[in-house]
Amino acid sequence: MDNQDIKNRFGIIGNSPLLNRAIDIARQVAPTDISVLIQGESGSGKEVFSHIIHQLSSRKHGPFIAVNCGAIPEGTIDSELFGHEKGSFTGAHEARKGYFEVVDGGTIFLDEVGELPLGTQARLLRVLESGEYIRVGSSKVQKTNVRVVAATNVNMFEAVQKGKFREDLYYRLNTVPLRVPSLRERPEDINLLFRKFIVDFSEKYRSPGVQLTEDAQNMLRNYNWPGNVRQLKNVAEQIAVLEKERVVDAHTLQNYLPNESRTSLPAIVSSNNSAKEDFSERDLLYKVLFDMKKDMVDLKKLVVELIQKGVDSTTFDQNSPYINQLYQEIEPQIKSDAEGYGIAPTLTIHSPNNNTANVLKNPATQDEYLQDAQEVEESLSLVDKESDLIKKALKKHRGKRKAAAQELGISERTLYRKIKDLNLD
């Protein structure tokens, strides 16, 4: 049986290379008893591939059962899969067979296998390795001959790394990996699927057929389809039932498509509080880092501007290595800002010392200049800092203590006392 025969038999529509590859794998692995892990997004059609594997295998005349592991409560999942004895827990009024016992000789499809509790994972691993299991509340080992086909829409490797899924079970299930492509990965199939769904629903509800304009077809192909084939089918059913116009354009189609995000770029944080709650930690971290970078650039500009306004030559020469570093870091930003306003980028560092000015103008001589520079350790004494600030304030206001006190943010009386305590008279 070739791929086209399989598509016709199981109602698969599409000619995407990724879809054909998945069908090839299912067809080749079906005659064996190898465990298969089907991976793909929710709504992409993973269960169809489990039926392909079962129907093309030697177990096709045996039972087949699909179990949604994520829909069974954690407290009862062991009982559902492996059965239980009478009185083994509250409510166990009689013994019950589990799925692995019922499906003996057939195939069991474990959908959302990544949702299994760790204890159940250990039981499942034993079944896969030896075919043995024990009912809940029993000590008797039982045997079963079941082929396991599992499916998940989560990244199993990441789940293993986080300790949410057993590594040995992952590799046991993943003997043959089969990936079902999402709908956005097969855009060439979207319009084919839509037409098939429209025909089916038009016949079901006895309504006229629907045609899409070219712009509507483009919108279907470019939409993100987070719900995959299941979502496309729902949209087709809505249009077949609700739309009065049988020729649907892009504007009309937009009413049936949820406003899902169509871009993978970082999200822009909204001022709306309710919207902020929806952003991931990564998006918020991006915003914080961008803000920090902007603040650092602004701070460096401010430092250079303060130095430009005038410092004595000794202070300038002692700090020239750091000043040069700041200049080199902010120079590209200054040029960018200047070009944005259509002006020539200029930044001049003024120094009473000509050698220092030459170093700034000619980076080629920086290394030679820095070899002669001596690092001076800054004093961290609070008394020295306080004394220095008071002196600067008094000098700035030409000895006027009232103005100096306002500049320092203290009362004039406190300033008098500090001048006396620090012997600044």
What would the DSSP string read from start to end of 193-222?
Answer: HHHHHHHHHHHHHT----EE-HHHHHHHHH
Q: 382-421: what CATH class?
A: mainly alpha
Please state, as a whole number, how many other Cβ atoms lie within 10 Å of the Cβ of residue 93. 8
Check whether 260 has a pLDDT greater than 60: no
Sequence-distant (6+) residues with CB within 8 A of 154 are: 114
How far apart are alpha carbons 308 and 302 in whole angstroms? 10
- Average pLDDT of the residues of the chain: 80
| Across 143-147, 210-214, 256-260, 286-290, least confident range | 286-290
Position 405, amino acid: A
Residue 365: partners with Cβ closer than 8 Å, 6 or more residues away: 358, 359
Contact 93, 86 (CB under 8 A): yes
Who has greater pLDDT, 211 or 370? 211
> In this structure, what token pair is assigned to residue 358?
């030459």
pLDDT for the residue numbered 140: 92
- Percentage of the chain surpassing pLDDT 70? 73
Distance of CA 305 to CAs 47, 97, 326, 354, Å? 67, 81, 11, 19
- Amino acid at position 255, single letter: N
3-state secondary structure at position 141 = strand
Lowest-pLDDT choice from 39-53, 240-254, 371-385: 371-385
Least confident of 2-11, 156-165, 255-264, 328-337: 328-337
Asked whether residue 53 carries a pLDDT value surpassing 80, the answer given is: yes
Look at 323 and 21; give whichever has higher pLDDT. 21
**Domain coordinates of the chain in residue numbers?**
3-181, 185-254, 281-372, 382-421
Work out the average pLDDT over 53-72. Answer: 94
pTM above 0.75, yes or no: no
| Confidence check: pLDDT of 128 > 50 | yes
**Using 50, 70 and 90 to split pLDDT, how confident is the model at 107?**
very high
The CATH number of domain 3-181 is 3.40.50.300: yes
CATH code matching the domain that covers 185-254, chosen among 3.30.530.20, 2.40.37.20, 1.10.3720.10, 1.10.8.60: 1.10.8.60
